[in-house]
Amino acid sequence: MIDLKELKCMKQQHLYGGFFRFLPRVKEFLLDTVYPECAVCRACGRLSKGGILCPDCRSRLQADGMAFAWDTEDLEPDLPAWFLRPHTGVARLLVIRLKHQAEKCIAEELADLILPVPGHISFPPDTVVTWVPMPESRKRERCIDHGEILARSAAGRLNLPCRPLLVRLETREKTQATLNMAQREANLAHAFRPRESIDFPVLLVDDVLTTGTTARRCAEALREGGARRIFFLAFTRAMKGALKDGNI
């Protein structure tokens, strides 16, 4: 369901020029209002039975890529990383909708994928969950920081505290999705700094893992703040070719 706060956000998106993004949300709002018991499925657009996904899309999300769930990705030697689904199908659609259309309810659906955490993975009890901060200008445009919403949902599932630990410098404003690997590295060099002294382990959460540049840059800043153990969790992992195809 779309609440009034989201509707206000949609209106602001419209004022900021996201007219074509605004229209489908209006249609969904009207359908959700007319059929309060049958919300619209955020993946396939058909009427669902009250949830944000229809039963078909929900079972596809649960089943898609289960073999890949929680596989480790070696971003760098001291940065253990996991992802929950490949960046395809229903998971990809949900990430895109959360990212570009600011639908908060999607974060909860994605966060459900975290559990159960496989037995060989555990975070120290004093771990703090944080996220990759969004540039302020983009946050104003989108009304929400989808990274924060995902991190808070993930922290809730893992029973860990969550708070902002990084600041993003406003000088680095280019959208990473439009850049190649070398450009990403340059765009994000020194783009983050720690907000506080960090003497506890950190779980950094992000929506999609592509080249890993953002995760590495954030890890650098967290280490600069004092963090000795950093973990990285992405909800989806873009496979080779997705970046080149602009498929993020």
Positions that interact with Zn ion (CB under 5 A):
41, 43-44, 54, 57
The CB-of-54 to Zn ion minimum distance in angstroms stands at 4
Instruction: Specify the residue, 54 or 218, whose C-beta has the smaller distance to Zn ion.
Output: 54
Nearer to Zn ion, 54 or 208 (CB): 54
Q: In terms of CB distance, is 41 or 188 closer to Zn ion?
A: 41
State the minimum distance, in angstroms, from the CB of residue 85 to Zn ion: 16
Name the minimum Å distance from CB 63 to Zn ion.
14
Q: List b or e across 69-96, with b for residues whose CB sees 16 or more CB atoms inside 10 angstroms.
A: eeeeeebeeebbbbbbbbbbbbbbbbbb
CB of 162 to Zn ion, least distance (A): 29
Residues in the chain: 248
Give the span between the Cα atoms of 44 and 122, in whole angstroms: 35
Which residue number, 38 or 44, has a Cβ lying nearer to Zn ion?
44
Residue type, position 162, single letter: C
DSSP 115-176: PSPPTT----TT-EEEE-PPPHHHHHHHSS-HHHHHHHHHHHHHT--B---EEE-TT--S-G
- Which residue is listed with tokens 């009207």? 30
Give the residue with the Cβ less far from Zn ion, 38 or 177: 38
Spatial neighbors of 201 by CB under 8 A, at least 6 apart, are 123, 124, 126, 127, 128, 227, 228, 229, 230, 231
Q: Which is nearer to Zn ion, 41 or 202 (CB)?
A: 41
Least separation in angstroms between CB 240 and Zn ion: 28
Shortest separation between residue 46's beta carbon and Zn ion, angstroms: 5
